[in-house]
Structure 1
Amino acid sequence: MRAIVLDTAGATPAWSERNDLVPPELEETEVVVEVEAAALNRADLEEIAGTYATAQRRSDRPHVAGSDLAGVVVAVGSAVSGIEPGDRVMAMVDGAFADFVAFDHRVALPVPDTLDWAEAAALPSALMTEYDALIDQGRLAPGQRVLITAATSGVGLLAVDIAQWAGAEQVFATTTSPQKELLLTARGAQAINTRVDDLAATVIAATGGAGVDLVIDHVGGPLLDECIAASRIGGTVVQVGRAGGPVSVIDVDRLAYRRVRLLGTTFRTRGTADRARIAEGIRTRLMPAVADRRIRPHVHLVLPAAQARQALDELADAGSAGKIVLDFGNRRHGDRETDA
């Protein structure tokens, strides 16, 4: 079995491909999936650097990298219901970069026939993260205004789609690239280039002085204070990512005066039960919109799994929009035919 394993025996984790592994043993609540494609996330760069850890990783299994996969179920545990061998699934897991991956069946999401493998692999972390941030924690309601930072990332673009699916009246979306502004406007968002525009002033002016009801911040750093300033009185800021750095300086007077609800969130410390609850919400509420492509992934690049190092370099470059996906080439079960 092929896998991309992190060797943590040394001071610095080593990136390597392994051919001497065996498929994982199946537990009663787990499914084993043969991976067709796996998407990269910025957390993968941190994991390789040795600075990322989750509450989920099992010490009795090899430290395989990766968190987003799509593939075909090849085995199910005795306590599994609702999933059968041959089903197409996608999931956010630990250890996605392998030919075979075992994980709790409750976090699996069905892959609609309208998605190919690369598109499916690009979805799980983005769906889980943004559904939780926008709906569960942000409590987004129809008619509200939303601001999404770093909106041309894979998760950011999904956030734009989910906000519109939920009935947002206006969706403001930030980028630092004039070229990427077109991608955001094509998704129905009002693009704001934070390299040339004052974020808070632009949002306040566009909302008639009110500000937005909800901010989903994927940047952190200095931009967090601007997000608070762009919020309405009684608004909510959900701090999801730290692409701009882990330290922010905020005006606490403004936070208090505007009565902004500031929430921090991560999946690093979430157990299986919490992840399963979020996955169930996605299955019951979001999947019809995924199937008819109202909520759709944006795949920037697909590379063979053997070119994982090149894919990681591309991800670190920060010039891409959307997701970078590894193709594992396990095509025995077929794929959706496309004209692309």
Structure 2
Amino acid sequence: MRAIVLETAAGTPVWRERHDLAVPEPDATEIVVEVRAAALNRADLDELAGTYASAPRRTGRPHLVGSDLAGVVTAVGSAVSGTRPGDRVMAMVDGAFADVVALDHRIALPVPERIDWAAAAALPSALMTEYDALIDQGQLAAGQRVLVTAATSGVGLVAIDIARWAGAAQVLATTTSARKELLLTTRGAQAVNTRTDDLAETVLAATRGAGVDLVIDHVGGALLDGCIAATRLGGTVVQVGRTGGHTSTIDVDRLAYRRVRLIGTTFRTRGDTERARIAEDIRTRLLPAVADERIRPHVHRVLPLDQASRALTELAEAASTGKLVLDFG
């Protein structure tokens, strides 16, 4: 079967397409999925940079890359219930870029009938990451104000939708591109251009000096201090991504004065049991909103698998909005 694997050439991590890998067989608690589409994520760039920390991988299996897949179940393990061959599923996994993938059945999400393969592949990491950040970590309550940074990314757009689904009274969302502001407003958010406007000043003005209750920060770097300054007294900042850099300098006096809860979160070091718990919450709570498109992905471009390197380059250039998806058809 075909797969994109991470190998080392002259001491440097590289992606390689291979066609000689065996089709996996399911363990007792696994399902096997024939992949129809898979989406790229920033984590793919981190893997190539050698900065991606993940849970231990299964020994004896090659290092497949990719996190988001959608496809059809072709086989199930002896201890699997509730999933059967022929089911349409999507999942956040380690090693999505392959024709066939074996995964823990508990982390598979059913694909609603009206969602196509590209849209389904663009959803799992966004749903898992943003539900965890907004609801589990951020404890978002109806009527609160939310700020989402790097909001025109695939996960950022879904974060806006989930915040509105949860009853947020106001959602502010950042971009560095004037042409992307319209995308944010059409999703029901107030756009904040951090290239031209001061983040904290703009957010405080929009909230009559109070600040937001919750920040979901996908940027890190120098922007983190501005996120803290934009948060109300006793509010929360959930630090999710580091597209702006892995180190930050913050005013700890302001952090203390505003009594801000600063929470770091990631899925890279979580095992399947914890992922399964979040997946179950999404199945029971979020999927109805996905099915009727209150929560929806934004697919920027669909490319064939043999153009994976081109897709990776586009991702690194950060010119796209939403998700880049590989077609396995």
Instruction: Tell me which residue corresponds to 2:124.
Output: 124
Kindly state the Cα deviation for residue 48 of structure 1 after the two structures are TM-superposed: 2.3
Kindly state the Cα deviation for residue 46 of structure 1 after the two structures are TM-superposed: 1.4
Structure 1 residues 1-340: aligned runs within 5 Å: 1-8=1-8, 11-329=11-329
- Range moving further from structure 2, 213-222 or 16-25: 16-25
Kindly state the Cα deviation for residue 190 of structure 1 after the two structures are TM-superposed: 0.2
Distance in 2 (alpha carbons) for counterparts of 1:14 and 1:245: 22
Secondary structure of 1:98 counterpart: coil
Distance in 2 (alpha carbons) for counterparts of 1:313 and 1:80: 39
Kindly state the Cα deviation for residue 228 of structure 1 after the two structures are TM-superposed: 0.4
Distance in 2 (alpha carbons) for counterparts of 1:131 and 1:57: 25
Say what the alpha-carbon RMSD is for the aligned residues: 0.9
- Range moving further from structure 2, 39-48 or 163-172: 39-48
Paired residues, number: 329
Secondary structure of 1:5 counterpart: strand
Distance in 2 (alpha carbons) for counterparts of 1:131 and 1:227: 20
Given that 1:56 and 1:94 are in contact with CA atoms closer than 8 Å, whether structure 2 keeps it comes out as no
Kindly state the Cα deviation for residue 175 of structure 1 after the two structures are TM-superposed: 0.1
Q: Deviations over 1:194-242 (max 9, x none)?
A: 0111110111111111100000000000100000000000000000000
Kindly state the Cα deviation for residue 25 of structure 1 after the two structures are TM-superposed: 2.3
* Structure 2: segments with no counterpart, 5+ residues: none
Kindly state the Cα deviation for residue 9 of structure 1 after the two structures are TM-superposed: 7.1
Given that 1:219 and 1:243 are in contact with CA atoms closer than 8 Å, whether structure 2 keeps it comes out as yes
In the TM superposition, structure 1's runs of 4+ consecutive aligned residues that sit over 2 Å from their partners are 48-51
Q: Deviations over 1:240-293 (max 9, x none)?
A: 000000111111111111100000011111111110011011000000000000
Secondary structure of 2:12 counterpart: coil
Secondary structure of 1:13 counterpart: strand
Q: Deviations over 1:110-147 (max 9, x none)?
A: 00011100000000000000000000000000000000
Secondary structure of 1:227 counterpart: helix
- C-alpha change, 1:83 and 1:10, in structure 2 (3 Å) is farther
Secondary structure of 1:156 counterpart: helix
What is the TM-score with the length of structure 2 in the denominator?
0.99
Partner amino acid for 1:230?
Answer: A
Kindly state the Cα deviation for residue 60 of structure 1 after the two structures are TM-superposed: 1.8
Partner amino acid for 1:11?
Answer: G
Sequence identity (%): 78
Kindly state the Cα deviation for residue 57 of structure 1 after the two structures are TM-superposed: 2.1
Distance in 1 (alpha carbons) for counterparts of 2:320 and 2:187: 17
Distance in 1 (alpha carbons) for counterparts of 2:6 and 2:15: 5
- C-alpha change, 1:20 and 1:116, in structure 2 (3 Å) is same
Partner amino acid for 2:279?
Answer: A
Given that 1:56 and 1:272 are in contact with CA atoms closer than 8 Å, whether structure 2 keeps it comes out as no
- Range moving further from structure 2, 42-51 or 196-205: 42-51
Partner amino acid for 2:238?
Answer: V
Secondary structure of 1:237 counterpart: strand
Q: Deviations over 1:275-326 (max 9, x none)?
A: 0011011000000000000000000000000110111111111000000000
Given that 1:72 and 1:86 are in contact with CA atoms closer than 8 Å, whether structure 2 keeps it comes out as yes
Given that 1:69 and 1:96 are in contact with CA atoms closer than 8 Å, whether structure 2 keeps it comes out as yes
